[in-house]
Structure 1
Amino acid sequence: MTTSRFNLQDLKRRFFWRISRVPTATLVVLGAVAFVSAIAAAWFAREGTVSGIFATIDIRQQNPPVWLQVPAASKMYLLVPTFVLVSAALAAIKISPQPQKWSRAVVVAIVLALTIRYVLWRSLATLNLSDPLNGIFSLGLFFLEMLMVLTTSIQLYLMLRVKDRRQEADRMAVAVAEGNFAPSVDIFIPTYNEPAFILRRTVIGCQALDYA
């Protein structure tokens, strides 16, 4: 009995030790997958609370606010904000053919505004939650699309941090040509199971480089 108890404690200790070594991101993803799977299972099982929530959302999807409805011939005024924003973006590009900080900020802000408008329409007026099967496919496609939107938004944010270093590069190029400045260079040597003598000769060759 004592041996079995010690073995059980040892197994528990090893189990928790292995869990502690799992990256946090992996645990978060696994937890999210487990949570979504539980919700989907409850929906397919027609559990009252879950089914009621999705039924309420589906009713709201079928009756979105007027500002989220798809523009029709009789509602062309819904396109006015889009036309205004696109015109402003084209005007900024026309005024500043060479990207500047202000023009880049204007264009990025307009694109983000249109993106937010699209995300609101996509999330509040297009999902098909009439039954679990259609709902799973509709939500799956929606979240994949939102992932793409997120990556695009990150790229737009990075565009705001772009710096024009052409003048600095020209100045440094003159300094390099005159021998007053020698920039440092990083050399990466990718290896995969090569023999040591090959790696040694490669490192020696890199150390002997002279780009002057």
Structure 2
Amino acid sequence: MAESSPYLTATADAYDALADIYADFVRDSLDRLPVDRAIVAAFAELVRADGPRPVVEAGCGPGYMTAHLRDLGLDAFGIDLSPALIDIARRDYPDLRFEVGSMGAFDVADGELGDLLSWYSMIHVPPPELPPYFAEFRRVLAPGGHLLLGFFESEGGPVQEFDHKVTPAYRWPIDDLADLARKEEFVEVARMLREPLEGERFRRGHLLMRRQAAAVC
């Protein structure tokens, strides 16, 4: 999937401008999120059961979640639009691989990746432009590969734009995201909704899916 959208440049520029502040804000965020860690741990356990294969964090930011995947025993690497955030990730986690790139246009062959995590990175994609991302995820994942999405949920309403502190973002109904994934041969494994904690504004949504394996004739 080739990408050329103004929002990509705007998103990268916005995160570049606030890279240090953003990295400091999220670096230890998992420490206070036991429920969120649980769904990531389940993802990692399923990935490990399938044997060693590369796992990508799409939209890795400053790399803290990629490092968490590594600590869970996965062969993880990260990509992100923001060169400044990638510089921070490489500085903080020099033993891991990080690349500047877009989750809508991976520079890999079909089926080259085992599994994929998108942790609050798809939130900035304008709704009309989101479906091709699932097609790209299907392209790069091997049959049977797992996909885990973390996002802000719209609490039963339609897709809603909100004033994210870095750049515009969107809250999605969990059923709508599941439907988009289903159209690209993903089957749902599990879903989890978490109500806002103190200091949070919105419900959090998590979808764990698996790319359908090739049919056996």
TM score, norm. by length of structure 2: 0.25
Higher normalized strand content (fraction of residues): 2
Q: Identify, as 1 or 2, the structure richer in helix.
A: 1
Q: Normalising to structure 1: TM-score of the pair?
A: 0.25
